[in-house]
Amino acid sequence: MPPDNSLEKVMTGGSFRVDIASIEDQLRELWKDAATGATAEDESVKPVTRTTVLNLVVFVDSEAAAQEVSALLGDLVEQDPCRAIVITADPKQQGDKMEAWISAHCHRPLPTSKAVCCEQISLRASGNAIRELAASTVPFLLSDLPVFLWWRGPGVFESEIVGKLHGVCDRLIIDSKQFAEPALEFPKLQSFIQATQDRLAVSDMAWHRLRQWRELMAQFFDSPVLFAHLSHIENVVVEFNPRATPGGTVPPQAFLLAGWLASRLGWQLQDSRSTGEGTQFRLKRKHSRTNISILLRPAKAPAELAGHLVSFELSSEKGWSTTFRIARGESPHCAQTEISFGQSPPFRRTVPLPIHTEVELLARQLDIFGHDSIYEEAIAMAARLVDSMK
Amino acid sequence: MTSVSQSEMLVNPLREGLEVVRSADPCVVVIFGASGDLTKRKLIPALFSLVEQHLIPSAFAVLGVARRPMSHEEFRATQREFIDAERLETEVWKSFESSLFYIPFDFSDASGYQKLTEELQKIDQERGTLNNRLYYLSTPPTAYSEIIKQLGAAHLVAAPGEKYWTRIIIEKPFGHDLESAHALNAGVNAVFNENQVYRIDHYLGKETVQNILVFRFANGIFEPLWNRRYVDHVQITVAETLGVEHRGSYYDGAGAARDMVQNHILQVLSLVAMEPPISLEADTIRDEKSKVLRAIRRIPPQDAFKYSVRAQYGRGFITGETAAAYREEEDVNPQSKTETYAAFKFYIDNWRWAGVPFYVRSGKRLAKRVSEVAIQFKTVPHLLFEQTAADQLEPNVLVLKIQPDEGITLRFGAKLPGQSIHIRWVNMDFRYGASFGVKTPEAYERLIHDCLIGDATLFSRRDTVEQAWNLLMPFLIAWQQSKERELPQYEAGSQGPSEAEALLSAEGRKWRRI
């Protein structure tokens, strides 16, 4: 049985430790009480509705990260009610042990409606028990609901846990923005995607960060008048706010954006070189001798844009000189789009380009179920780009 | 001219894999009646929201037209009223605002359309809007014919085969009766091809209405039951707690049947009853809806009262306050015989629905605000369980809730825990708000975007508008010719008139509680 004050504690954001073998029984008791409001003495524990539309397994590598994730899940469940299973592999803890806690996240869709609640199971393992984390997680997955594994830590492609869980997961969520060494990790990601093609799809938060850049660039060429210019592009410039990591200052997103553009337009990589400005790739169109240059170069930007893209520009000198440019403006949450033809005054406008929070990015990944072939092609090209720099 | 734009035919490789299949083409949205409330309350906020979502290209402008003299700047200032203060502060609003223009003229003055032509050419040059036009008629319906005629005369409508497009959005009411609907449509089609015409029914822009299609055709378990073998009857309810508010003069000339049933309710009914379309193309869906409306049994005027009930609200008490009677409302004729409640029994004479009544009702000043479709299934053929006072055998009911509390409920019997078998009827409840916390887009936002990309699925086609009028005309004629001195009354805040119960009770059925 849960402790006497467990319902109040859980409904108000707390957790209580449980025996792993009795997690499901404890949760059942808890929700029975919550449904009737049997132990309710104050407003916070009035009868509730439990809703779950998916299983979300989150891997973290420290207790502090587990705390952060719990806070994020509180916001996430308002959009994506789920059974969350947070698994912590904590190498700093002594001994071979595994402990479990249960907690809940509740919110009211409307001030007058019943609270909607989701449950969280937290498993923390140390020492040799870390090897049992995957096997311990599987029994808590709810049948008939999709399973997402969010890997919020390093070493995803080498992990034994991923190897054991990928058979029961539908989707692995990563964030390639966190890749410290893109030159090593993009090829690993590409190999992983190929190796798990039949069983698992990969979602990347960094890909969603690029969505708005991709949308705005695509929008220029939706117009039948401007569409023709797409086949004359000769120069691409991606500007970024540099970061300080052992793997170089170019953020992984810059490679991913360049990979997306080149893969969509069927450009073939010739070579790459470092210039005084930045990193330059030389590509060619199929059946054409014209060279295309993609330049990734650093640019000054406000501190809050560290590791983010600053601008994205496509241009051509053939016939009329044309430029299509998206650049973050004075405000980091806006961008200016600009089309210019020769000497004519450019068409400009300002559009939102918000910097998404981790919860927003995660929520977006939970809406995607199948393989994203466009992403996978972009990754393959990004891997070739970084490989050419060796 | 087809409504398919050139950009639909080109495959933009950068669009592949993006959620939005394509953004709107470069264009100018010309709003007639731009000084009115709808423009600042709904249209400009919807357009701005589309800009914020990157659904509108940079080559875009809005040109407001109305009689009231105003400069571009004054027009821009009036459009800020319904945008949140925090969004107004952004560079995005400033950029959007600079694409708003205004010219004043009288809609019946031909020289005004010359001014309009010049202004549009200027905008095309400055903003690259490529001669594409969306005309939005946000005027009183009496102005529709004149504006359309003048647009045609001024050659402001793209002819077939042009590289640019013209579309027109017309707000309801689409006529006052069958004859006026015919006349309006004839005037519209004299200038615009039907595939350039978008008759907006904001009800169809609601997510839950669109979900009827998904619910029916993306789930394998319901469609086999969706017919006369299993369905006893269907109830469609659109109940409001509000009275006529400040629309007294319009409403008194319209009434509940014209205001709600002719458009919203019959559109919903056709979505519920239609056959599976062969694709999601606009016309394949609209063809199926049209077939339903054609299959609804026409009732001769002399039988109208057997199949319908109308009533008017009297004084009452609602949401904690005393409510005035309809005839005491502002701008309402104190002797008015306009109905504020209308209920109908329809039969759809086809293989799927033969013999299944569809009861529809709509009213103002009812107990609760609720819009829903309830599919009531037949009860089990043989009573296996002992029937006691505690064990009433009830039918399964599937309820599609459109508003508020959007969701789906299925009612079924379950055994009450205990030694003996007692049945308790329970609801299995799915609520949009609980399962999807995402804010649903405003209906206008969805519909304007659909029109900008040339998707007419959620707009009413001429034939369905006229079929709906054709269906209602016998009732409207019978009601008008009735020698009743007084309309049946119902108390504001109640479930509706007692006469409405008779429509169902003769067949052993009853209305769901509102």
Average pLDDT over residues B189-197: 96
The model's confidence at residue B1, banded by pLDDT at 50, 70 and 90, is: very low
A153 shares its domain with A230: no
Find, among B410, B469, B399, the residue nearest to B235 by Cα.
B399
In-domain check, residue A182: no
Of A225, A264, A334, the CB nearest to B14: A264
A65 shares its domain with A158: yes
* Angle A78-A84-A90 from CA coordinates, rounded to 5°: 130
Q: Specify burial of residue A1 (Cβ count, 10 A radius: 0-12, 13-18, 19+).
A: exposed
Please give the positions of B annotated as active site. 264
A217 shares its domain with A335: yes
Q: What are the structure tokens assigned to B120, written together?
A: 């549009």
A355 shares its domain with A264: yes
In-domain check, residue A299: yes
CA B507 to CA B488: how far, in whole Å?
21
Q: What is the DSSP letter of B327?
A: G
Of B12, B17, B51, the CB nearest to A222: B12
- Determine contact: A331 vs chain B, CB below 8 A: yes
The pLDDT of residue B367 is 92
User: Residue A126: which H helix or E strand, with range?
Assistant: strand A115-126
CA A20 to CA A2: how far, in whole Å?
13
Angle between helices A358-365 and A63-76 (to 10 degrees): 70
Interface size between A and B, measured as CB pairs under 8 A: 118
pLDDT tens digit at each of 390 positions of chain A: 555 566 677 777 788 888 888 899 888 888 887 777 655 455 555 667 788 889 999 999 999 999 999 999 999 988 888 999 999 998 777 888 999 999 999 887 777 677 788 899 999 999 989 889 999 999 999 988 999 999 998 889 989 999 888 889 999 999 999 888 888 899 999 999 999 888 889 999 999 999 999 999 999 998 888 888 998 999 999 999 987 776 668 899 999 999 999 999 999 999 999 988 899 999 999 888 889 999 999 998 887 788 889 999 999 987 778 999 999 977 778 999 999 988 888 888 999 999 999 999 999 999 888 889 999 999 999 999 999 988
Q: What are the CA-CA distances from residue B202 to residues A72, B25, B170, B173, B241 (Å)?
A: 36, 22, 11, 12, 19
The pLDDT of residue A370 is 84
First-to-last alpha carbon distance for chain A, in angstroms, is 60
Q: What are the structure tokens assigned to A119, written together?
A: 């449950």
Of B6, B59, B91, the CB nearest to A350: B91
pLDDT for B136 beyond 50: yes
Last residue of some domain: A169, A186, A221? A169
Distance from CA of A79 to the nearest CA of B (A): 4
From the candidates B91, B124, B405, B429, which should be mutated to test the interface with A, based on the most A CB atoms within 10 A? B91
A238 shares its domain with A161: no
The conformational region for residue A173 under phi > 0 = left, psi -120 to 50 = alpha, else beta, is beta
- What's the pTM? 0.86
Distance from CA of A78 to the nearest CA of B (A): 5
Please give the distance of CA A226 from its chain centroid, rounded to a whole number.
Answer: 32
- Determine contact: B94 vs chain A, CB below 8 A: yes
pLDDT for B4 beyond 50: no
- Determine contact: A373 vs chain B, CB below 8 A: yes
Interface touch B438/A348, C-beta < 8 Å:
no
Are the C-beta atoms of residues B495 and B234 closer than 8 Å to each other?
Answer: no
Phi, psi values for residue B393, rounded to 5°: -80, 125
Last residue of some domain: A109, A139, A169? A169
The pLDDT of residue B9 is 57
Interface touch B12/A230, C-beta < 8 Å:
yes
In-domain check, residue A114: yes
Q: What are the structure tokens assigned to A338, written together?
A: 């600009």
In-domain check, residue A191: no
- Determine contact: A35 vs chain B, CB below 8 A: no
The pLDDT of residue B439 is 67
Q: What is the DSSP letter of B494?
A: B
The pLDDT of residue B2 is 36
The pLDDT of residue A138 is 93
Are the C-beta atoms of residues B27 and B132 closer than 8 Å to each other?
Answer: yes
Return the number of other C-beta atoms located less than 10 Å from residue B288's C-beta: 17
* 3 state DSSP class of B115: helix
Q: What is the DSSP annotation of A235-290?
A: EEEEEE-----TT-SS-HHHHHHHHHHHHHTT-EEEEEEE-SSSEEEEEE-TT---
From the candidates A219, A257, A365, which should be mutated to test the interface with B, based on the most B CB atoms within 10 A? A219
CA B173 to CA B192: how far, in whole Å?
18
Return the number of other C-beta atoms located less than 10 Å from residue B475's C-beta: 21
Q: What are the structure tokens assigned to A93, written together?
A: 């803890």
A218 shares its domain with A289: yes
CA B349 to CA B337: how far, in whole Å?
32
pLDDT for B434 beyond 80: no
In-domain check, residue A200: no
- Determine contact: A286 vs chain B, CB below 8 A: no
The pLDDT of residue A3 is 58
CA A238 to CA A298: how far, in whole Å?
8
Residues of chain B with Cβ-Cβ distance to A109 below 8 Å are 431, 433-434, 437
* 3 state DSSP class of A381: helix
Q: Is the peptide bond before B395 cis (omega within 30 degrees of 0)?
A: no
Find, among A217, A6, A347, the residue nearest to B95 by Cα.
A347
pLDDT for B234 beyond 90: yes
The pLDDT of residue B3 is 43
Q: What is the DSSP letter of A221?
A: T
Three-state DSSP string of B426-474: EEEEEEHHHHCCCCCCCHHHHHHHHHHCCCCCCCECHHHHHHHHHHHHH
Are the C-beta atoms of residues B305 and B499 closer than 8 Å to each other?
Answer: no
Interface touch A349/B58, C-beta < 8 Å:
yes
Average pLDDT over residues B453-473: 94
A256 shares its domain with A364: yes
From the candidates B5, B22, B58, which should be mutated to test the interface with A, based on the most A CB atoms within 10 A? B58
Residues of chain B with Cβ-Cβ distance to A211 below 8 Å are 18-19
Are the C-beta atoms of residues B360 and B341 closer than 8 Å to each other?
Answer: no
Cα Rg for chain A, rounded, in angstroms?
24
For B393-400, which contacts have Cβ atoms below 8 Å and span 24 or more sequence positions? B393/B423, B394/B425, B395/B232, B397/B512, B398/B222, B398/B374, B399/B372, B399/B373, B399/B374, B399/B375, B400/B208, B400/B211, B400/B212, B400/B215, B400/B272, B400/B372, B400/B373, B400/B374, B400/B375
Q: Which residue segment(s) compose the domain that A228 sits in?
A: 209-387
Q: Specify burial of residue A254 (Cβ count, 10 A radius: 0-12, 13-18, 19+).
A: buried
In-domain check, residue A336: yes
Find all residues with CB under 8 Å of B238, minimum gap 6, and list them: B260, B264, B265, B361, B362, B370, B371
Average pLDDT over residues B445-474: 94
A42 shares its domain with A142: yes
In-domain check, residue A327: yes
A22 shares its domain with A154: yes
Find all residues with CB under 8 Å of B37, minimum gap 6, and list them: none
Interface touch B434/A81, C-beta < 8 Å:
yes
Distance from CA of B216 to the nearest CA of A (A): 20
Are the C-beta atoms of residues B208 and B408 closer than 8 Å to each other?
Answer: no
A118 shares its domain with A217: no
Q: What is the CATH number of the domain that holds A352?
A: 3.30.360
User: Residue A386: which H helix or E strand, with range?
Assistant: helix A373-388
A165 shares its domain with A26: yes
Q: What is the DSSP letter of B246?
A: T
CA A312 to CA B130: how far, in whole Å?
26
A217 shares its domain with A165: no
Q: Is the peptide bond before B160 cis (omega within 30 degrees of 0)?
A: no
Count of domains in chain A? Answer: 2
Last residue of some domain: A142, A169, A196? A169
Return the number of other C-beta atoms located less than 10 Å from residue A322's C-beta: 19
In-domain check, residue A378: yes
The pLDDT of residue A332 is 78
The pLDDT of residue A289 is 81
Average pLDDT over residues B118-139: 94
Going by their DSSP bridges, the two strands B357-363 and B341-347 should be labelled as antiparallel
Average pLDDT over residues B421-449: 80
